[in-house]
Each structure stands twice: as structure tokens, then as C-alpha cells.
Structure 1
């Protein structure tokens, strides 16, 4: 059985893909910079092979990709260092080609599209990013898909909307979940009432596992959409319904983000992407469903329940070790 390698495995999406591969009895390799983080996340799975790498070392990249058929790329950077994305892709692609990797799946984002010209957005929507982050993500995609066009590798991109789920601290909804369970005020990025969609992270892994086994997936770009159109306000209301408590909210719009960004580099970098909160970009994944069949999408109420349960469990564990 050919091996799958998850580069950037310790991030948000990696554990979901690993779990799906594990359920299929498929061995896989997890690759990251920090061995401790990898062992904490995957060390209990006998199917997981743990490998560290240094993306600045061609020999290290090649070694991490040796004996791999399909490489799933999820390598993250700090939100204020998006200029690193194209360079990291180039280094990984060169190492993968040298190692004989045959397929690469890039877990992507909607950033390369820029503003939605119509909704829902299908894969043939123009890529016209008007933000720096969008241009860097587009450059990353272009490097990979040019290698596909040149016949050097079989490649595809799976684009995701915003995500949420148990333990997903990078989600727009995470602080609301913390406040719903622990009390206090939830800091959120607004506006909260515009149409939006979220993908439940545990739903992504099974889709990627199916793409690995689908030769026709390679050579083009695909979308996975959320579980329907919603708003942040609706999901906050669902948290209130499930906990029986009214949430206190502190909502930052673009002007407030600029002010907070004077002291917080992450918030400063969110300013240019705030258009995604004010101008809906909703995804059409009908092409993907025609390719691999129906996609299991966790309803928002159930996703919120699992997210709140994870926060409550973390609080209980913290109290027990205090």
C-alpha cells in the first residue's frame, strides 16, 4: 500500500486526515518541525510514522518525502508572515520531486479568489486577489499547478472555507465557545449577521482520504463547502440555547481591528481580510460531490455541541491538575 505523508500534520486539519486514514487501516507519515508536538498528537497510533523536517534544508525535505506516493500539504506560517507561503511550497515541491513523490494535495483557502463576483462560488471563479495574503496563496497554488501542467507531478487543491470544531483555537467561533462554557466576554470579529459558512474540521479528513484514492481528483481544483449558510450570530444563539446562558460579546469591526492591531500583529493582519466578513463568499462543492459522492457534513447544532464539550473537558482536566 502506498504511503501518504501529511506535511504540517500538527496543525488544524492534520489530525482529522490522520484519523480518517487510520480508520481505513492505512499507514501514514506525519511531518513537522517539532517532534514533541507530533508525538503528542499522533504517538498513540501505530499506523503513524513520525518524521521531523527543516524546510530550509533540501536534504531534510527530500528525506521527509522519501518512499511517499501522496503528499498532503498543510504547512502553516504565522498570519503576519504570508510571504513565506510560495517559498515553502517551492522548497517542498523540489524535495518531493527529488524523492519521487507522485501526487500532492494542497489544502487551500478562498483567499486567492478575492471578492466574490457571484455566489455561490464554483472552482471556475476568477482568481483576482486584492489582498497581500490572497496574492501569496495564489502564488503558492500557481507553483504547484504549474508543476502539474508541466507533467512533473499530479497535483490538486482542496479549498476550504472558515473552519471550526473541538479544540480548534484558530476558529472565529472559539472565543465564543470559551465564554459559553467558562463565562466572561467573547471577543469576536464582526459583523456577526452577514451570511457565512463554516466547515467542521472532523468532516475534512474523510474527504481528503477519498481524494487520495481517486486518480481523477488530480489535475484541477476542488471545493468543500460548509454545512449550509449561517451567520456567526446564529451560532452564538445555538451556544446560548445549548448552555442556557446569555453570552456577553465584544465585537471588533475593521476600525477596531486597526486599533487593536497597533499592539497585536495577528489582529493587524486581519484588517485586510475583513472583507470576507462583510462581503459573503459562499462555496459550491457540487463538482466534488459528483466526483466522490455525498459528503458527510455535521449539522451546525451538533458541531457546536462537540465544540462546547471539548472546552468543558479541557476545563475539567485543567481543574484536576491544578
Structure 2
């Protein structure tokens, strides 16, 4: 009997590459689908999931398909392209009879402030357009499961951090600035509010775990997170590794709003500021009840590995 084939869509992204690593650790047969990167030791295929033919080609013969793809952080792009991508991937998986494992985020929960710690059962009345998109595509996938088109499972993740993760608030506003001898900046109201983060190697292992358990399908699962930390804690952990003493500076909301008039990136972040104005702690009780032996990395260890990855890349030595 041939070995099951696992296809990772968006394999070159922060989470996708960790799914690839987690599968290789178990010696699974893996195919990487990516628009931008070639993997030397496994089959790699180009895939633009906006096109059904490419989606079908990328998952041909697959037994398990992990949808870890990302899009530019642009609301109009999300509204146009995410429903198209989800429909194409569902159709492709239906054709090849592959199980579909979707890496989701937590934007659909609302209204803010959320009930803490928020679980998979939290009301879904998103206050943002991006959150409405995420709810729409997750609902479409669960409908496809209920109607028998595909066997699907959703893993929802908190904000990423980890080795080489550049699209993270902990890199863009914190670590990157600290490596340049600048103070970290926080876009919320209070850097002493607690929140949970998801370590990307944990996400890779968790998605593999969900995929290989038949009883997880048809459900939504919150993926493992760190213990709750404040942004002051986060800066302290990076300071510990770098041998520095940088303090968190809060960006005044008026200044943020003014800068948004000139920066599309800041305008896109503005509707998501509610995540930083209140504690934002995700419950993973359901996942750990099902998989009690799964150990998530502590924030201290994760921050250290993240910092070392960028220090190595930039040839910086800790003081």
C-alpha cells in the first residue's frame, strides 16, 4: 500500500513551512505547493489558488491537504480572493477525495471586548470587514463538510511568533526595532494587558495532530498558545536575549490615526485595534483535553528561539 500524500498549500509561509517540517519529522510523504519557494528535498509545485486548475493540479492524488495560504493584508483583496480560494480548494479536494485541514485565524469572534478566555463557542459577530471574510469562508468550509463534499477540520490560531516570522507584531513593532537599537512600539492602549501568542512550530505539529485524528473532523479547534503575556513581558524576554534594556513605547492613538492617512498598512490595521485595546486570551482547553500530551512551548523559550533566528540571519551576537 502506498504511503498517504500530504499536500501543504502555502508551504513557504510562516505556518506552512512548519507543517512541512512536522510532517517530515514523521517521515510522511509531503508535497509543497507555493507561489514563491522551491523546497530542495521534497516535491514542490507552483500554485496560485485563485485558479481552479492550479488548485486541482497541486492537490492531485493527495490524501491530506493543509490550507495555510495567506493573502496581502488588504481588506479589498480578502473580500475578493478568500472566498474564491476557499471554493477552489474545496472543489479540488472534493475531486481527489482528500481531507482538508484549514489554518484559520480568530478575527470572526465578536463583538469586542471578547469573553475571556474565549473558546470555540464564542459568539461570531465580527466588528471588522476582515473578520466577516474569515467567518464567511469558515462557514463555507463547514457547510461543505456537513453536505459530504469534503472531510474538513479547522484549526484556529492566535497571532504568530517564532523563528523567522517577520509578519508578526512581535517582530515588526518589537524585535526588528530592538535589533536596530530602538525601543519597541505598541499600537494598543495599555502594554500591560495580557494576550496569547501562537508559536509557529507548535502550530505545525498541532495541525498534523488534528489531521491524523479521524475524530477531529467537522469541528473547529483552537490551536495551542503560549501562557498569557503582556507586551512589557515580551520586551523583557527579547531584552534578556539581546542583553539590552529597551522600554515599550505606546504610540498615541491620535498619531496612529494621522499616520494612517498616509500609510495603507496602518489603515488596514486600524479596524483590528480592538485586539490590542483589551485583554485577548484564547482558550485551548478543547485541544488539550483531546491531546493531553501535547506540550506547547513557553513564551520565554519561543521568544528566545525567535530572537536567535533573526540574530543569526543578521549576524548579531548577544551581549
TM-score if structure 1 supplies the norm length?
Answer: 0.90
User: RMSD over aligned Cα, in angstroms?
Assistant: 1.8
Indicate the residue corresponding to 1:27 in structure 2.
29
User: Is residue 159 from structure 1 mapped to residue 156 from structure 2 by the alignment?
Assistant: yes
Name the counterpart of 1:103. 99
> Given the alignment of the two structures, is residue 149 of structure 1 paired with residue 146 of structure 2, yes or no?
yes
Give CA-to-partner distance per residue, 1:202-257, whole Å, 9 cap, x none. 11111111112100010110002422111111110222233332225543354333
Provide the secondary structure at the position in 1 that maps to 2:91: helix
Q: Which residue of 2 aligns with 1:61?
A: 55
Asked if the contact 1:225–1:283 (Cα under 8 Å) also holds between the matched residues in 2, the reply is: no
In the other structure, the counterpart of 1:179 is 177
Q: What is the match of residue 13 of structure 1?
A: 15
Contact 2:93–2:99 under 8 Å retained in 1:
no
Q: Provide structure 1 residue ranges, at least 5 long, that are not aligned to the other structure.
A: 318-322
The verdict on how the C-alpha distance between 1:294 and 1:266 changes in structure 2, with shifts beyond 3 A counting, is farther
- Say if 1:257 and 1:268, in contact at 8 Å, map to a contact too: no
- Which of 101, 118, 122 is the equivalent residue of 1:121? 118
CA gap of 1:106–1:181, structure 2 versus 1, over 3 A, is: same
Deviation at 1:92, TM superposition (A): 1.8
Query: Hey, what's the Cα distance between the residues in 1 that align with 2:247 and 2:291?
Result: 42
Give the 3 Å change call, closer, same or farther, for CA 185–116 of structure 1 in structure 2.
closer
Q: 2:132 aligns with which of 118, 131, 135?
A: 135
Q: Cα gap change, 1:104/1:257 in structure 2, threshold over 3 Å: closer, same or farther?
A: farther
8 A contact 1:254–1:271 mirrored in 2? no
Please say which of residues 241-250 and 223-232 is displaced more in the overlay: 241-250
Change (3 A) 1:253 1:127: farther
Distance 1:205 1:56 in 2: 24
Superposed counterparts of 1:1-322, under 5 Å? 1-34=3-36, 37=37, 39=38, 42-43=39-40, 45=41, 48-80=42-74, 81-83=77-79, 84-98=81-95, 100-114=96-110, 115-175=112-172, 176-191=174-189, 192-247=191-246, 249-316=248-315
- Is this contact kept in 2: 1:32–1:52, CA < 8 A? yes
CA shift, 1:27, in A, is 1.3
Structure 1 53/240 Cα, relative in aligned 2: closer, same or farther at 3 Å? closer
- The answer to whether the 8 A contact 1:5-1:72 is kept is yes
Q: Residue 265 of structure 1: CA displacement?
A: 1.3
Distance 1:17 1:253, change over 3 A: farther
Aligned pair count reads 308
Q: CA deviation at 1:117?
A: 4.2
Query: What displacement does 1:310 show?
Result: 1.2
- 1:9–1:253 Cα change, 3 Å: farther
Distance of aligned partners of 1:217 and 1:258 in 2 relative to their CA distance in 1, 3 Å threshold: same
CA 1:139–1:253: 2 relative to 1, 3 Å: farther
1:269-301 per-position Cα deviation (integer Å, ceiling 9, x unaligned): 110100001122311111112223332211111
Offset at 1:190? 2.4
Preserved contact between residue 203 and residue 224 of structure 2 (Cα < 8 Å) = no
Q: Which residue does the alignment assign to 1:320? A: none
Change (3 A) 1:116 1:106: farther
CA distance in 1: counterparts of 2:252 and 2:158, whole angstroms: 20
Secondary structure at 1:31 match in 2 = strand
Q: Given the two structures, how large is their TM-score scaled by the length of structure 2?
A: 0.91
- Measure the CA separation in 2 of the matches of 1:155 and 1:276: 28
Gaps of 5+ in 2: none
Distance 1:254 1:157, change over 3 A: farther
Cα deviation for residue 173 of structure 1 reads 0.9
